[in-house]
Structure 1
Amino acid sequence: MPYVLANSYDADLKIWSGSEIEEYFAPDLSIGEIIFHEMRRHPKLIAQISTTEETILIREELHSNAMRVASYMRSKGLLQSDIVGIIARNTSHIPAVAYGCFFNGIAFHSLNIAYDRGTIEKLFSITHPRMIFCDGDEYEKVRDATRGMEDVEIVTMRNHPEGGSTPIEQILSSPIEENFRPVRLEQGIDQTLAILCSSGTTGIPKAVTITNSRQILMGSYSLTTSDIQYCHNTLDWITGLLTTITSGIFSTTRIIADNVFDPVHMMRLIEEYKITWLIQGPSQMAQMANCPEFEGADLSSIRQFVFGGGRSSVETQKQIRSRLSSDCLNFMYGFTELGAMGTINYHFDEKPNSVGRVVPGLKAKIISEEGKSLGPNELGEVCIRNGQYWAGYYGNPQETRKMRDPQMWFHTGDLGYFDQDGFLYIVERKKDMLKYQNIMYYPNDIETIISEMPDVAEVCVFGVWDQVYGDKAAAAVVKKQGTELNAQDVEDYVKERTDSKYKHLHEGAIIVEDLIRSPNGKTNRKATKDYFLEVKERQ
C-alpha cells in the first residue's frame, strides 16, 4: 500500500491543507543542535563513503571534523551574524564544513562551481562572506571575484594552490574547543540556516535564505540507520542541502561523489552500495533511462526514489519504475524559497501526471490573475503557505515582496490546478505562456506530445516571435542513443497528434546532444532557444 497524505479542503476559502506536523525533536532545537546530538548516538556507524576520493568516515570522525571546523571559525572570531561562502563539489570534507556552520549558527552561502567570476563577485558582494571554502580548481576564480572584499579567508578542499589559501587539512588538524557545544541560536529557529541560489535562468541568481525550520525534514522521517542515501547534487541545491541534513539527523550512510553526473556510474553505485534512498532531477532520470546499460541495471535496493525540480515525461517515469522492486518513485514539487517539498505524489497509477498532495504543515491555493481563489479543476497560479518566518532574498527586499505577500503566501509563478481529490497538477510557468494568432498555449502541451515518441529522451519547446503570427513553436529534442530520429519526424509526429494548428511546430525542430541547462541542472529554456536560433541561422 502506498503512503497516503491526508489533506482537507476549505470550500469557502478554497484552500487545501496538509495534516498537522508531528514534532520528532524539541521544537526549540536548531538543525545544528539536532545533528550534533544525533551523531553522538551512533559513533561507530559509517557516516559517508566517497566513491571518487575513496574515503570512508564513521560518524565520530565526521563529528570530530565538524567540531574542528566550527572551533577554527570561532578562533577566527566568526559570529552568528557572519556568512561563510561555499563553492565546491561533493568531496570528503564538505559535509564537515556544513555541519561546522550549523554548530556555530553561521549561515553559509553556497554557489555552483559552474558560475563565472562575474556571477561569483555579484553574489558574494551581497552576502560578504568572511570565509570561503572551495576546491583549488576554483581558487583563482574565487580569489579574483573577492579582491574587493576585506579579510576574506579562502580555504581549499583539495588541489591546493601554492600559497594564498588555507588547506582544509590544516583546519582538520587544529584543536577542538574545550567542552565544545553547539550554540543556541540568537534568533531561535527563525534564524537563517543557509543561503542558496535561485535557478538564475532569467539573470543573476538571487540569494535565497533557508531557515532552521523543521519543514525541510518533511518526507524524510522514514529514514533509519539501515538506509544508504545518495544525491548527486551539491550544497547549492536544496536537494543537496536536504541530503546533508537528513544523513546527519537520521544516522544514515551517505554515498558521495565529486564527478560530473554520469548515469552509468550512478547505476553502478546503486548496485554496489545497495542504495535505498535516491533523489534526482528529471534530466538525470532521462539520462539514466536513455543509456544502453539501463535495461540491465539492478535498482532493486531502492525503497524511496524522489524526483523534482522539473517535469519528467510519463514514459521516462514508467521506464524507471520498470527497474524498481517496489512502487517507490515519487514526484515531488517544491521550490528553493519554501526550503522544502510542498507536495508529493504517492499515487502514480491513479494520478500519473500529478505532483501529489500537500505535505503536513502546509496550505495551498490556486489564484486567478486578479488574486481570487479558485476551486478544483480551475487553472491559476499556485500559492503555498507554510506559516513560518522567511528572511527573504538576502539584501533584496523588493524581490522578496514579489515572492511572498503580507499574508505569508508564496507566489510561485507556476500555473496549475487541484483536482477534486486534492492532487496538484503543474501546467507551466506563467512567464513561459505563449500566444499564436492570439491563442494562448503552453510549451508543455507540445512537449507532452513529443515525449510520447519512442525515440525521444528529452525535449524543450519554446516560442520564436513572428510579427504576424506571434509565438511560433519550435523544439530542441534529445534522441535516445542508437536511434535514427530526425527533425522532420518530430514535426510530422506533432502535426499528426493534434488538431490544434497553433500547437504545430511552425518554426521547426532540431536534434541536439543535450539540452542547455542552468548551473542547478534545470533546462534553461531561453538558452536552448538561443542555441536553436544559432543553428537555424547557420543552416
Structure 2
Amino acid sequence: MHTQGIGFWLAQRRLKNPGKTAVVFGDVELTYRQMADAADHVAAALWHRGIRRGDAVAYIGENSPQFLQVMFAVAQLGAVFVPVNTRLAGPEMEHVLVDSGARALVLDPEFLDRAMAGVQTGRIAHVIVTGEGLPEHPGLARLVADAPVGHTIAEVGLDDPAAIIYTSGTTGRPKGAVLSHGNLTWVALNCIVDYDVVSTDVSLMISPLFHVASLGMGALPVVLKGATLVLEKGFEPGRALAQIQRHGVTMLSGVPTTYQMLADHPDWAATDLSTLQKLTCGGSAVPTRILNAYEERGLSFSQGYGMTETSPGATSLAPSMTREKQGSVGLPHFFTEVRITDEHGDVVPRGTVGEIEISGPNVFLGYHGQPEATAAAFTDDHWFRSGDLGYLDADGYLYIADRLKDMIISGGENIYPAEVESLISDIEGISGVAVVGVPDDRWGEVPWAVVTVKEGAEVDTEIVRSRLDGVLARYKLPKNVVVVEDLPRTASGKVRKADLRARFGEGR
C-alpha cells in the first residue's frame, strides 16, 4: 500500500462494495462507486490547479455529498482539509482562512460574501463554488467535468496532517487543531469497536459535518465500514423524524438539545422508531427527562466525552450503564487512555477530582502555527492536558466536574457549574441552563443561572433556589436566575459561557 491515509478509503469501498448506497441526500442516492469516482475527479481538478501535498484547502458548506467528496479528494493529494463553521461571522471566517494558510477555498455560493475578506487578505489562489458556478468564480461541477484525467496520489503516512479543525473558541480566538490521518483512522476504529458500527447501518447526520464529532465519529466510521449516510443539510426535528422512518435509520447522534427537540415535536409519538438501535449523545450529560422520554420508546443512549484535540472521542458510556452510572461519561475508548492528575502532575487516587489527561493515537498533533500553545497542551510524558476537571470512580468510569476555566470561586469555595446545571435542568419548565460566575464585591464571584424556558412556563430565582436548597450547599445556589430566549452555543451545541459572562458580568 502506497498510502495509509484516509484518501484511499472510498477507492477501497469502490472495490469492495461498488453498488452499495453510500450517501442519501434528499432524493439523490449515490453509491460508493459514484462517490469514489467523484472524489477522483475533484482531486484531479485541484491537482491541475496546483494543489499539492501539504497545501491547505478550506471548505465552507452545509452537509452534502460534495463536502465528503472534497475532503477525500484533498486527502488523496496529501493536502490538508480545513472545514469552516458556516455559522461564523465574516471576521471569524477571515481568521480561519488566513490562519490556516488555505491555498484554495471550495464553498457554497451563499457564503461567498462572508468569506471574501478572508479570500482577499489570505493566500487563497483559487475560489471554487459548489454547483455550476458564478460569473466570477468557477463551479465545482464544471471543473470536475472539464478536469483532465489523472493526478498524482500522494504517499501519505498515518502521522501526516489530514485536517485542521478550529476549536469552538469558547475562550479567546479559535486555534487550529491539526489532526493526522492516523488520528481520524483511530477515532473511527474506536467508534466501530465501542458503538458496534456494522455495514448494514443507516446513519442520519443531523449535525454539521464541519464539526469534528460529526466528521470523526459520525461520517468516517460509516464510510470505513461501508454503511450508509443519510445527510441532512440542516436540523429540523420534524424532517429528521420523517427521515428516520423513511430510510429505516439505525444510528443517530446529537446533543441533548437536539434530542429534546425531537421528543418535543408533535410527530414524536406517531413516528416509527423501531429501526433505531444506536443513539450517541455528547456535549453535556443527558438530563433525566430526556432519558425518560427515550426509554419510554425503548431507546437508550451511548454518552461520551471528548474535544477537538482528541478527534474528538475520549470516552463512551454504554447504553446498558446509562442508569447505573448516570452522570458518568463512561470508560476510555478502546484505543485511548485517561488519567486524573493534581496540580503537580501526579496521578491521584480514584474518586479524587483533578485534571483529565488523555493519551492515544486519536490525540492531535498540535495547534497549527502555535508551538508554545502545543507545548503547553502536553505533559512531559506526552499526555494531552484537557483543561477539564473530573474523577474516576472505583470502576474506572469518568465523571466530569467542570472546565478549569468555568470553575467559579466564591468566597474561597470552588463551585463546579456542571453540578448545579444538572439539577436545574430537571426543574419543570426549564429547557436549557448555563451557570456562570458573575463578579461580586463581597464574594469575588457568585453563580448566576441563565435559563431558557418552555412556552407558558414561569421560572424565577426563588423557584430555582427553593428546589436546590438542601440539595446543594447554599454558596452553590444561584444568586440570580435570568430567563433568555436562547443560549449562545457553538456548532457542537456547547454553551458559549464566555459570552454569558461578558453579557451579565459587565458593570458588576
TM range (shorter): over 0.9
Report the 3-state secondary structure (helix = DSSP H, G, I; strand = E; otherwise coil) of the residue aligned with 1:435. Answer: strand
- Is 1:198 aligned to 2:167, yes or no? yes
Question: In the alignment, residue 332 of structure 2 is paired with which amino acid?
Answer: V
1:372 to 338, 346, 350: 346
Residues 240, 444 of structure 1: CA spacing in aligned structure 2 closer, same or farther, 3 A cutoff? Answer: closer
**What is the distance in 2 between the residues matched to 1:50 and 1:236?**
17
Q: Where does the alignment leave 5 or more consecutive residues of structure 2 unmatched? A: none
**What is the distance in 2 between the residues matched to 1:432 and 1:389?**
23
- Determine the structure 2 residue equivalent to 1:451: 425
- Is 1:146 aligned to 2:83, yes or no? no
**Percent of aligned positions that are identical:** 22
Question: In the alignment, residue 129 of structure 2 is paired with which amino acid?
Answer: T
1:257 to 232, 256, 259: 232
- Determine the structure 1 residue equivalent to 2:61: 88
1:209 to 165, 178, 189: 178
2:8 to 21, 27, 33: 33
How far has the Cα of 1:84 moved from its partner?
A: 0.4
The answer on whether the counterparts of 2:187 and 2:362 sit within 8 Å (CA) in structure 1 is no
**What is the distance in 1 between the residues matched to 2:44 and 2:277?**
38
Residues 254, 245 of structure 1: CA spacing in aligned structure 2 closer, same or farther, 3 A cutoff? Answer: same
How far has the Cα of 1:72 moved from its partner?
A: 0.9
Residues 371, 446 of structure 1: CA spacing in aligned structure 2 closer, same or farther, 3 A cutoff? Answer: same
Q: Which moved more, 1:55-64 or 1:28-37?
A: 28-37
How far has the Cα of 1:524 moved from its partner?
A: 0.8
2:155 to 178, 184, 192: 184
How far has the Cα of 1:182 moved from its partner?
A: 4.0
**What is the distance in 1 between the residues matched to 2:367 and 2:47?**
27
Report the 3-state secondary structure (helix = DSSP H, G, I; strand = E; otherwise coil) of the residue aligned with 1:458. Answer: strand
- Is 1:465 aligned to 2:439, yes or no? yes
The answer on whether the counterparts of 1:115 and 1:519 sit within 8 Å (CA) in structure 2 is no
Question: In the alignment, residue 56 of structure 1 is paired with which amino acid?
Answer: E
Question: In the alignment, residue 245 of structure 2 is paired with which amino acid?
Answer: E
- Determine the structure 2 residue equivalent to 1:436: 410
- Determine the structure 1 residue equivalent to 2:366: 392
Question: In the alignment, residue 112 of structure 1 is paired with which amino acid?
Answer: N
**What is the distance in 1 between the residues matched to 2:475 and 2:502?**
22
Matches within 5 A, 1:10-409: 29-51=4-26, 54-150=27-123, 152-158=125-131, 160-161=133-134, 163-175=135-147, 177-178=149-150, 182-185=153-156, 188-213=157-182, 214-217=185-188, 218-221=190-193, 222-242=196-216, 243-259=218-234, 261-325=235-299, 327=300, 329-346=301-318, 347-386=321-360, 390-409=364-383
1:467-520, Cα deviation, whole Å (9 max, x unpaired): 112222211222234x422224643434544352212221x1122232111244
**What is the distance in 2 between the residues matched to 1:334 and 1:28?**
28
How far has the Cα of 1:431 moved from its partner?
A: 1.0
How far has the Cα of 1:151 moved from its partner?
A: 5.2
**What is the distance in 1 between the residues matched to 2:393 and 2:363?**
29
Residues 390, 436 of structure 1: CA spacing in aligned structure 2 closer, same or farther, 3 A cutoff? Answer: closer
**What is the distance in 1 between the residues matched to 2:70 and 2:374?**
28
Residues 69, 137 of structure 1: CA spacing in aligned structure 2 closer, same or farther, 3 A cutoff? Answer: same
How far has the Cα of 1:33 moved from its partner?
A: 1.9
Q: Where does the alignment leave 5 or more consecutive residues of structure 1 unmatched? A: 1-25
**What is the distance in 2 between the residues matched to 1:82 and 1:273?**
38
Larger RCO: 1 or 2 (CA < 8 Å, sep 6+): 1
**What is the distance in 2 between the residues matched to 1:476 and 1:195?**
33
The answer on whether the counterparts of 1:47 and 1:251 sit within 8 Å (CA) in structure 2 is yes
**What is the distance in 1 between the residues matched to 2:248 and 2:7?**
28
**What is the distance in 2 between the residues matched to 1:55 and 1:429?**
42
How far has the Cα of 1:111 moved from its partner?
A: 1.2
Residues 435, 235 of structure 1: CA spacing in aligned structure 2 closer, same or farther, 3 A cutoff? Answer: same
How far has the Cα of 1:160 moved from its partner?
A: 4.3
**What is the distance in 1 between the residues matched to 2:44 and 2:408?**
54
Residues 480, 300 of structure 1: CA spacing in aligned structure 2 closer, same or farther, 3 A cutoff? Answer: farther
How far has the Cα of 1:55 moved from its partner?
A: 2.2
Report the 3-state secondary structure (helix = DSSP H, G, I; strand = E; otherwise coil) of the residue aligned with 2:292. Answer: helix
Question: In the alignment, residue 435 of structure 2 is paired with which amino acid?
Answer: V
Report the 3-state secondary structure (helix = DSSP H, G, I; strand = E; otherwise coil) of the residue aligned with 1:369. Answer: coil
Report the 3-state secondary structure (helix = DSSP H, G, I; strand = E; otherwise coil) of the residue aligned with 2:146. Answer: coil
Residues 296, 473 of structure 1: CA spacing in aligned structure 2 closer, same or farther, 3 A cutoff? Answer: farther
**What is the distance in 2 between the residues matched to 1:379 and 1:81?**
41
Report the 3-state secondary structure (helix = DSSP H, G, I; strand = E; otherwise coil) of the residue aligned with 1:131. Answer: strand
Residues 437, 517 of structure 1: CA spacing in aligned structure 2 closer, same or farther, 3 A cutoff? Answer: same
Report the 3-state secondary structure (helix = DSSP H, G, I; strand = E; otherwise coil) of the residue aligned with 2:495. Answer: coil
- Is 1:486 aligned to 2:455, yes or no? no
The answer on whether the counterparts of 1:153 and 1:166 sit within 8 Å (CA) in structure 2 is no
Aligned length: 500
